[in-house]
Amino acid sequence: MTTPMTKQRRIYETVRQRIQTGDFRPGDRIPSDSELVREFGASRPTVAKALQELERAGFVRRKTGSGTYVLDLAGPEGQQFGLLIPGLGETEIFEPICAAMARTAQQLGHSLVWGANASHAPSADKGRQALALCNQYLHDGVGGVFFAPLEHVEDKDSINLEVVRRCQSVGVPVVLLDRDYVPYPGRSEHDLVGVDNRRVGYQITHHLFERGCERVMFFAREGSAATIDARVAGFMEAVVKDSGAFDAKLIQRGDPRDQSLVAKFISGSRPDGIVCGNDVTAGQLMHTLDRLGLDVPDDVLVAGIDDVKYAELLRVPLTTIRQPCEAMGEAAFRTMMSRIENPTAAPRDVLLGCELVVRESTQRKRNEVIA
């Protein structure tokens, strides 16, 4: 089931395309908010949110009392940038992010080096591969490194720190993708492009309460990145607001394929709704619930986060939060250009908006009231 594009996303995509095709050139003032309201039949708040997202992505600059202007962030010509994503090929959201980064780099006269082609690591170990690839990039004189810190890897914290330290030692800027390497709620000194994961956790949890759930749990794998902790924080906030109380047992970590573990927390806490740290975890958990004889969604509602391709292809299509992957890729590359132009500027959080995608996993059919 394809979800229709929201008006906010349609405004964003249309203006972005006009910038990229040259209809709006650097320095041009784009149509006013009132003109966009008339063109798209949208409300002023919707137009404002779309323009705010374009500004966060580095396409425009809003000037109070003057208007919105197209930026020129092409920066130095002909530079090469390294892409260091140890989970590339395993975490689906990075594929469209990287593709968008590559397109943006080409449009601005630069190039992106993909890790799969540049790695000369002596083993299959992700940590050693990451360090070897980092060394290769620095040896080749890249203008900057895009880094998605490791997760689910032993000694990931020390490896992530070492990658960043090596880049800093030779003055190569780092832009973090999707997540920080500092445990939540801490923050490193590098630019980060992603989504507001606390808000994401709140939004998906609140959705389950709106669907009638009374006891919602959060399930995630051990050793996950800081994004999961931020999502947990949003989950906790929604639970307190929607149910009035919070119990630490509502948060469970482990392998969603472990039938005995899942059976234990289901029997002990009896949730009627489960938020998973991501779609992969949700898909695996749904298979385990099926083996335990529990029906999704009639016995328990399940929701994920990311909207990976197979989320709508599961036996029960998964309700989830869709990340704006293409916009994230564009924003990441332009953030790097901005960092090169302003190396002493304070670190930025470039957080893009997400979209709730409702599917059958949170729509009960049993005992529905027919009007």
Residues 316 and 301 in one domain: yes
Q: Is the pLDDT of residue 113 over 60?
A: yes
Give the pLDDT band of residue 118 (cuts 50, 70, 90).
very low
* Radius of gyration in angstroms for the set of CA atoms belonging to the chain, rounded to a whole number: 22
- pLDDT tens profile 207-239: 999 999 999 999 999 988 889 999 999 999 999
Residue 249 resides in a domain: yes
> Can you list the alpha helix ranges (DSSP code H) found in the chain?
7-20, 33-40, 44-56, 94-107, 115-118, 126-140, 156-169, 197-210, 226-243, 259-269, 279-291, 325-341
pLDDT at 55: 80
Within a domain: 2: no
* Same-domain check for residues 313 and 332: no
Q: Residues 205, 319: one domain?
A: yes
Tell me which of 88 and 54 has the higher pLDDT: 54
Distance CA 127, CA 124 (A): 9
Say whether both 177 and 227 belong to one domain: no
Residue 225 is predicted with a pLDDT of: 83
Q: Is the residue at 261 inside a domain? A: yes
What does the pLDDT read at residue 365? 74
* 185 vs 120, higher pLDDT: 185
Could you tell me if 314 and 333 lie in one domain?
Answer: no
Going by C-alpha positions, the residue among 56, 10, 60 that lies closest to residue 31 is: 60
Assess if residue 370 is contained within a domain.
no
Smallest CA-to-CA distance from 334 within 113, 151, 175, 130 is with: 175
Q: Where does residue 261 rank: exposed (0-12), middle (13-18), buried (19+ CB within 10 A)?
A: middle
Give residues with Cβ within 8 angstroms of 165, minimum separation 6. Answer: none
d(CA 150, CA 178): 11
pLDDT band at residue 87 using 50, 70 and 90 as cut-offs = low
Q: Domain for residue 92, yes or no?
A: yes
Same domain, yes or no: 115 and 175: yes
Which of 297, 298, 299 has its CA nearest to residue 358?
Answer: 297
Residue 100 sits in a domain whose CATH number is 3.40.50.2300
- Determine the pLDDT at residue 102: 92
Residue 169 CB contacts under 8 Å (≥ 6 apart), including other chains: none
Q: What is the pLDDT of residue 122?
A: 35
Scored b (16 or more CB within 10 A) or e, 30-62 reads: bbebeebbeebebeeebbbbbbbbbebbbbbee
Q: Evaluate if residue 73 carries a pLDDT over 90.
A: no
Query: Strand pairing of 60-63 and 301-303?
Result: unpaired
Predicted confidence (pLDDT) per residue in 311-361, tens digit? 999 999 999 999 999 999 999 999 999 998 888 899 999 999 999 999 999
Both 329 and 316 in a single domain?
no
Q: Are residues 147 and 209 in the same domain?
A: no
User: What pLDDT, on a 0 to 100 scale, did the predictor assign at position 300?
Assistant: 97
Q: Distance between CA atoms of 94 and 107, rounded to whole angstroms?
A: 20
Q: Which two tokens stand for residue 337?
A: 């250009």
Which two tokens mark 208?
């389950």
Q: Are 87 and 150 in contact (CB under 8 A)?
A: yes
| Residues 118 and 263 placed together within one structural domain of the fold | no
**Residue 204: is its pLDDT beyond 90?**
yes
* pTM given for the model: 0.78
CATH code assigned at 33: 1.10.10.10
Residue 80's SS3 state is strand
In a domain, 101, yes or no: yes
At residue 123, does pLDDT exceed 70? no
For 12-71, the pLDDT digits (tens) are: 889 988 988 889 988 899 999 999 999 999 999 999 989 988 887 778 888 878 889 887
Range(s) of the domain holding residue 328? 80-194+324-351
* CB-CB contact of 48 with 60 (8 Å): no
Report the distance separating Cα 73 and Cα 200, nearest Å: 29
Q: Which of 24, 40, 70 is the last residue of a domain?
A: 70
Is 53 inside a domain boundary? yes
Q: What is the DSSP string of 327-362?
A: HHHHHHHHHHHHHHH-TTSPP-EEEE--EEE--GGG
Among the listed residues 198, 186, 188, the one whose alpha carbon sits nearest the alpha carbon of residue 163: 188
Query: For 326, phi and psi rounded to 5 degrees?
Result: -65, -45
Instruction: Indicate if 134 and 146 belong to the same structural domain.
Output: yes
d(CA 367, CA 356): 25
Q: Are residues 183 and 328 in the same domain?
A: yes
> Is the same domain home to 153 and 116?
yes
pLDDT value, residue 223: 83
Asked whether residue 1 is domain-assigned, the answer is no
Instruction: Give the chain's domain count.
Output: 3
Please state the separation of Cα 60 from the chain's center in Å: 22
Kindly indicate the confidence band of residue 367, based on its pLDDT and cuts at 50, 70 and 90.
low
